[in-house]
Amino acid sequence: MPKIQVLDHPLIQHKLTYIRDINTGTKEFRELVDEVATLMAYEITRDLPLTEKEIETPIGKGTSDVLAGKKLGIIPILRAGLGMVEGILNLIPAAKVGHVGLYRDPETFEPVEYYVKLPKDVSERDLILVDPMLATGGSAIEAVNSLKKRGAKSIRFMCLIAAPEGVKAMTDAHPDVDIYIAALDEKLDENGYIVPGLGDAGDRLFGTK
Ligand code: URA
């Protein structure tokens, strides 16, 4: 069973409230998404392995822990996922960044891959796939398909807001992918928007509406 974790830290919830607010403008929206992505990255990297290192302090010699150097990759789903990348890199600056671009076929409404560029050693990396919204789950499921097709073995998915419908679709399709969410909302509306959600994440991030 995949882990589904709602990261209900007070700082995350507080910032998310302002992200949702219709009166929050593009600049502040972008900054808040960046900050929440950093806070979420802190929570989801709790299981990173450590190794002991010999150190010398001004007082004497000893040992202390450092990261064991597990290779990480951040994979935003274009375009809205881009808004979460810098926030994660603030904490794990050595991570490589790949990109998955999907568009919705106007006839079938299915997501179709149009751009994929990944680190060469993708099969050796722990990947954090990011998209602010997990709505129907269509894009996230297809993005994981794209990653697995290219050899990815370890993927976790991180989003700001999820609908129950998306969580179910994603866990049915990819039970090996853990999901980290800042808030689990009520439902999808008839247009596929999350209620109450935050509107169109891409448009709000990039000011395109
Ligand atoms: N994508 C968005 O940007 N917002 C939603 O509510 C659903 C999908």
Give the pTM.
0.95
Q: Catalytic one among 26, 38, 104, 126?
A: 104
Distance CA 162, CA 132 (A): 8
First to last CA, the chain: 39
| Ligand 1: centre distance to CA 134 (Å) | 7
For the chain, percent helix, then strand, then coil, each to nearest 5? 35, 30, 35
Residue range 3-20: mean pLDDT, rounded: 97
- In DSSP terms, 159 is beta-bridged to 181
> Do the Cβ atoms of 97 and 127 come closer than 8 Å?
no
The finding on whether 12 has its CB within 6 A of some atom of ligand 1 is: no
Distance CA 75, CA 86 (A): 12
172 is catalytic: no
> Do the Cβ atoms of 61 and 9 come closer than 8 Å?
no
The finding on whether 133 has its CB within 6 A of some atom of ligand 1 is: yes
Closest residue by Cα to residue 135 from 174, 170, 179: 170
The finding on whether 135 has its CB within 6 A of some atom of ligand 1 is: yes
Q: Does domain 4-206 have CATH number 3.50.50.60?
A: no
Distance CA 40, CA 13 (A): 11
The finding on whether 81 has its CB within 6 A of some atom of ligand 1 is: no
Kind of pairing, strands 187-188 and 194-195?
Answer: antiparallel
| Ligand 1: centre distance to CA 50 (Å) | 37
Looking at this protein, which amino acid is placed at residue 56?
E
> Do the Cβ atoms of 84 and 35 come closer than 8 Å?
no
Distance CA 26, CA 203 (A): 9
| Whether the complex's predicted ipTM surpasses the cut of 0.85 | yes
203 is catalytic: yes
Locate the domains of the chain by residue range: 4-206
pLDDT attached to residue 114:
97
| pLDDT tens string 52-73 | 999 999 999 999 999 998 899 9
| pLDDT tens string 24-50 | 999 999 999 999 999 999 999 999 999
Count Cβ atoms below 10 Å from residue 169 Cβ, excluding itself: 18
pLDDT attached to residue 159:
98
Res 105 pLDDT > 90: no
Residue range 79-99: mean pLDDT, rounded: 97
Looking at this protein, which amino acid is placed at residue 35?
E
> Do the Cβ atoms of 37 and 87 come closer than 8 Å?
yes
| Known binding residues for 5-phospho-alpha-D-ribose 1-diphosphate | 79, 104, 131-139, 200
| pLDDT tens string 121-130 | 999 999 999 9
| pLDDT tens string 133-174 | 999 999 999 999 999 999 999 999 999 999 999 999 999 999
pLDDT attached to residue 136:
95
| Ligand 1: centre distance to CA 94 (Å) | 30
Give me the helices (H) in the chain, please. Answer: 10-20, 26-44, 85-89, 138-149, 164-173, 201-206
Distance CA 128, CA 49 (A): 16
The finding on whether 35 has its CB within 6 A of some atom of ligand 1 is: no
